[in-house]
Amino acid sequence: MIDELRRTLRERAATVEARPEPYARLLSRRRTRRRSRGLTVVAAAAAVALISASPAFWPIQRTYDPVPGPPPAAVAPLLNSPTRGSLAGDQEFLRELRERAAAAVNRDRGPGGPYLPSDPDLIKVLFAGDIGSRRIAVVAGLDGRPLRALLQGSIGDDPSSLYASGSGELETAVVATNTAKTGLDRSETYLLLGPAGAGIDRATSVYSSTGVRRTWDPVAADQGFVAYADLTHLERLRVRVGDKVIWEGEAGRPPKVSVTVDVQPVFGRGTTVPASYVQAAANYLANETGIAGPDARFRVLWSDRISMPGTSQGEAYAVVVQAITADGGGPYSTVVFDTGNTDARENPFSTGVAGPPEQAAIMVRLPSFSASVDDRVYVLAPPAAARAEFTDVTGHFVGFSLANGVGWLDTPAGLDTQLDIRDAEGGLLTTRDFTDKDTGGRCDQFDPTICDGLISVR
């Protein structure tokens, strides 16, 4: 999996001179690769030569034996598929590529595995070919715990010139790769590779108060893969074998948009934060959902300046924004901004879909700037709501008061509960399910029904 970190530039306060439009940093996904960092050596040339010549400092060549057993059944359809790509028929290239992968991929892997077998004959080339301005190769081990790896370079490069640019355990019969921009090549190359004969569909998504409805149309993919030379927009794709969907996720990057948003929180909840932060949060939600254009409107469900451990000044601006769809509700997200520098945070437990704020309630766990999860959960309910109740992770009943429909408390993470909202007389106004159990990034933040089996490339 390729890990994602969203960051944003923001002005320090309304009274400070505005900085250049920063929200693109919030929307960008930093694709991290392991990079070896050089040591700065301050020594005489003779000492450097002595160290270089000493066998004690030569790199250690490790041998990696295959994990016993056949590959898992879930990935067998991919491993049993023929090599795809424009270089699939070049047997000498494929042979050299397997040797290159055996030598280059494992050196960047951390402890614990999985690893590619050192025997090139136990490495399968899944894809080898040119996509746009890049030469792309995807390989995988043929053992009991397969590792898949991406190697890339420029068109015309032989296998020895390709470099390993990402690897991870092969968990499904699908490989999705976003290649990071490198050097002068700024294109966004993308490959979605399923089993031979698999169908690939593209979605059109429509949001409402109750969720997201997706209409799927097939993409031309005769050999079970699609490749984009420069994917400059966001697409939602899925891979299916027959009628069974085996993968669903998003690809590409959203275009830069700026939407209309009222900076004043509905019902006067919380406090108004500087407009640039609100705009950044609304633009982020627009990009995540694709809700944009001249008719798109957004509102602030709640915003405030709050204490926040891990920030540069111990405080943050918290903003919960919602897109307004045809039925009055829509998707919402929470973004927390460091008041003293350029950082922003969000998490999957502070997003979702809800009805209009005068009717619906939501519960969000605040994103964290520290290494630990923030214990605070906020409830935003209709103005008439006076109390929120749920069962915590220990099984104890929890209840707390709301003012103007808003309240918060500290409670450990791992909730999977029903939130009950009551008025001042104790009458039940509305309910909502809430969970913040860690799913390893395998759930759609705006469509919880897409969870098990989802491997997102974001």
- Alpha carbons 152 and 342: distance in angstroms, whole number: 32
Residue 83, in any domain of the structure: yes
Residues 157 and 296 in one domain: no
Instruction: Indicate if the alpha-carbon torsion angle 46, 107, 83, 119 is positive or negative.
Output: positive
| Residue 190 to residue 152: CA distance in whole angstroms | 12
Give the mean pLDDT of 134-138: 95
Let me know whether 170 and 295 are in one domain: no
Buried b (16+ CB within 10 A) or exposed e, 425-436: eeeebeebebeb
Residues 239, 274, single domain; the answer is no
Main-chain phi, psi angles of 323, to 5 degrees: -80, 135
Cα dihedral sign, 376-379-384-389: negative
Other beta carbons less than 10 A from residue 133's beta carbon? 14
Q: Do both 156 and 191 map to the same domain?
A: yes
pTM, rounded to two decimals: 0.74
Residues 62-99 pLDDT 10s: 678 899 999 999 999 999 999 999 999 999 999 999 99
Same domain, 264 and 175: no
- Domain total in the chain: 2
User: Does a cis peptide bond (omega within 30 degrees of 0) precede residue 114?
Assistant: yes
Indicate whether 158 and 302 sit together in one domain: no
Residue 212 domain-assigned (yes or no): no
Comparison of pLDDT for 335 and 36, the residue scoring more: 335
Q: Are residues 275 and 406 in the same domain?
A: yes
Is 28 part of any domain? no
Same-domain status, 357 and 267: yes
* pLDDT, tens only, 285-342: 998 888 987 778 999 999 999 999 999 999 999 999 999 999 999 999 999 999 998 7
Measure the CA–CA gap between 108 and 36, rounded to whole angstroms.
Answer: 8
Task: Give the per-residue pLDDT at 451.
Answer: 57
Same domain, 344 and 244: no
Same domain for 348 and 369, yes or no, is: yes
Quick one: 307 and 406 in the same domain?
yes
Structural domain of residue 370, as residue ranges?
255-435
Return the percentage of the chain with pLDDT > 70, whole number.
81
Please tell me whether residues 279 and 229 are part of one structural domain: no
- Residue 278 CA: distances (Å) to CA of 14, 94, 262: 12, 52, 8
Residue whose entry in the numeric block shows the structure tokens 């007389």: 425
- Strand pairing report for 344-345 and 362-365: unpaired
